[in-house]
Amino acid sequence: MNLTFFRIFILFFLVVHPLAKGQAQKQLHLLFEKEIEKKCKALSDAPYFKKTYTFFLEKKWDSTLVYSIRQLNSNRSDKTINDYCHFFRGFSFKEKKLFKESQKELSDITNRFFFYQRVTMLLGELALENNESEKAIPYFKKLEALSNPELYGIKASTIKHNLGICYLHLGQFSNAESYLLNSTELQEQEQDTIMLIGSYGDIANLYYEQYKDDQAIPYFIKAYELAQKTKDFRLKYTTAYNMAIVEENRKDFLQSLQYRKEFEKWKDSLNDQNKIWEVAQLEKQFAVKQKQKEVSLLQAENKIKIAERNGLLYSAIVLLVLLITGVYFYLEKIKSNKIILAQKQKLDELNATKDKLFSIVSHDLRSSVNALKTSNSKLLKNLETKNLDELDFLLHQNSAIANSTYNLLDNLLHWALLQSQQSFFEITAMRLFFIVEQISFNYKSLLQEKEIQFENNVARSEVVYADQESLKIILRNLMDNAIKFSKEGGYIHIYTRSRNDMYCDLIIEDNGLGMDATTRENLLKEDISLIKKQNNDKIGSGLGLQLCKSMIKKNKGKFTIESELGKGTKMIVSLPKTVSDG
């Protein structure tokens, strides 16, 4: 009996599945489709979306899948339309028995979707299709509490029926019986014949599995009698077969034979029906192919006409592109030539500066070395005569020449590092008074030798932001110039003044020879040319001042000169009081 029962249960469940749609379910689905159409028309007139829901309503699942993916690829910013597209795709995949793909699409729908309850129903049905009853139950439980499931195309009887099937699969017969009987009562009220046949069969199987044959057989009979009232050969075929098995189990072989004959009759009718349907399908496919050939021919003719019509247009576009490309490259060539010419001029200036630098430096070094050589010769002669006064003079002179040569070489080194961008700069806050004090101490002997009065009047509280080492180089060169071009008995004053909150002016003032306006303007030029500044018997290379200008600029500062010939000079270095963002 167990084997026979097993065959009945499987056959019935596959053919009269509880998810099959009865007449009442179809009517409810029509209402749901009208609601879908109304919502979609209000959303967008986008061509892909319109075709998507149109094909969905026409139950053309392949076309629905094609246009829904086109809509998703064309615009993913509209979340509402995306939800509808995923819903249509999930529904279409389910109809095509592609359950895994259907589940993936439905899982991508947000819970803000208007028909999300229908999505929940579909996910539960997919789980049931995959024999995942435990996974399906939570979905149907959520829907069980709905007050108006018909709005989403769902019948309350279907929800209860599906829950009953889930519990039946899990062997929880008490829960299964409660839900299946409840769903059957609702279907009897709805007079949903197709669904009732399935429900009677499921209840019969429920009792049969528990060996309650007396309770199971009346439901098999109900299913059989109800199937006779339908035009569905498959239902008649299945219920007749089940009754043959039931009568065989009850040892009523004559009655079982009658049911088997009926079963064979409906089986032949079903086969004939299937053959007619297959022929109709073949005819339909042939008609579609013929129509497709006509469409393909028309498309080919249209393509030829379009190609002829657009040929001249494409040619004109190509010529225009070539013309624009030619003009572009011509303009780029002119632009490149201008850049190359400017770079050549800059390079010529740099080469001229380099040549002038080598000329000046080599001249100054030669003069210093020659002076040192001459002084050393005199020094040797005076050593023989032991002329101490002359020896003292010559030694001081040698020291001055050595210091001057050292300063020249030091400036040359720093200038080279600055030009090659190898010098290290670190902008920090520092007090000017102590920097000036440190530099002036190194020139104490020279100041005393020329009897120059020196005063450091920089305020101790004055703070600037600069690189310490470069600031020392600037001050050394300006002090050196001030001493070099000052008369004996003169003065050098260093002090500050504040014009605004941005800069602090550091002023190195002397009462030396000064300079005329032409010399001052040349020294302040922005180019990198070297200017020689002359003081009777001393000629400066101009490299030190050039180095000062470059380092002041790198420290985000400013440099200016106030001077008149014969009335002294003010070298003014403006340094920032705050950190510059640049």
Per residue in 414-435, pLDDT (tens digit) is 656 555 565 667 888 989 999 8
What is the residue type of 94? K
Q: How far apart are CA 391 and CA 123, in angstroms?
A: 112
Among residues 154, 144, 142, 206, the alpha carbon closest in space to that of 175 is found at 206
Contacts of 18 (CB under 8 A, 6+ apart): 158, 161, 162, 165, 195, 198, 199, 202
Q: How far apart are CA 419 and CA 412, in angstroms?
A: 11
Question: Pairing mode, if any, of strands 463-467 and 503-510?
Answer: unpaired
The number of beta carbons lying within 10 Å of the beta carbon of residue 354 is 12
C-beta separation of 69 from 101 below 8 A:
no
CA 449 to chain centre: 71
What is the residue type of 387? N
Among residues 422, 417, 420, 372, the alpha carbon closest in space to that of 397 is found at 372
Among residues 16, 409, 469, 7, the alpha carbon closest in space to that of 208 is found at 7
Q: How far apart are CA 1 and CA 9, in angstroms?
A: 12
Please report where in the chains the tokens 């020879």 appear, as a residue: 513
What is the residue type of 17? H
DSSP string across 155-190 = -HHHHHHHHHHHHHHHT-HHHHHHHHHHHHHHHHHH
**Domain edges within the chain:** 23-114, 424-576
Query: Which of the 8 DSSP states describes residue 567?
Result: S
The number of beta carbons lying within 10 Å of the beta carbon of residue 336 is 10
C-beta separation of 43 from 49 below 8 A:
yes
C-beta separation of 527 from 349 below 8 A:
yes
State which fold the 424-576 domain adopts. Heat Shock Protein 90 (3.30.565)
What is the residue type of 107? S
C-beta separation of 22 from 193 below 8 A:
yes
Using alpha carbons only, what angle is made at residue 285 by residues 282 and 288, rounded to the nearest 5 degrees? Answer: 150
Token representation of residue 571: 């070298």
pLDDT mean by block of 10 residues, the chain; 582 residues: 39 39 64 84 82 90 91 85 91 91 91 89 90 90 81 82 90 88 83 81 85 84 81 78 82 82 76 62 68 76 83 88 90 89 78 60 60 72 75 71 65 59 76 89 82 90 88 87 88 87 90 88 69 48 77 88 90 87 57
Sheet holding 491-498, edge to edge: 453-456, 491-498, 503-510, 569-576, 558-563
Please report where in the chains the tokens 């967008």 appear, as a residue: 44
Give the pLDDT score at 4: 42
What is the residue type of 281? Q
Token representation of residue 232: 């569905």
Among residues 305, 316, 544, the alpha carbon closest in space to that of 414 is found at 544
The number of beta carbons lying within 10 Å of the beta carbon of residue 75 is 13
C-beta separation of 539 from 519 below 8 A:
no
Among residues 531, 418, 546, the alpha carbon closest in space to that of 478 is found at 546
Q: How far apart are CA 440 and CA 77, in angstroms?
A: 72
C-beta separation of 6 from 188 below 8 A:
no
Give the pLDDT score at 6: 38
- Supply φ then ψ for residue 43, to 5 degrees: -85, -60
Please report where in the chains the tokens 């002119």 appear, as a residue: 334
Contacts of 64 (CB under 8 A, 6+ apart): 52, 55, 56, 88, 89, 92
Please report where in the chains the tokens 């007749």 appear, as a residue: 240
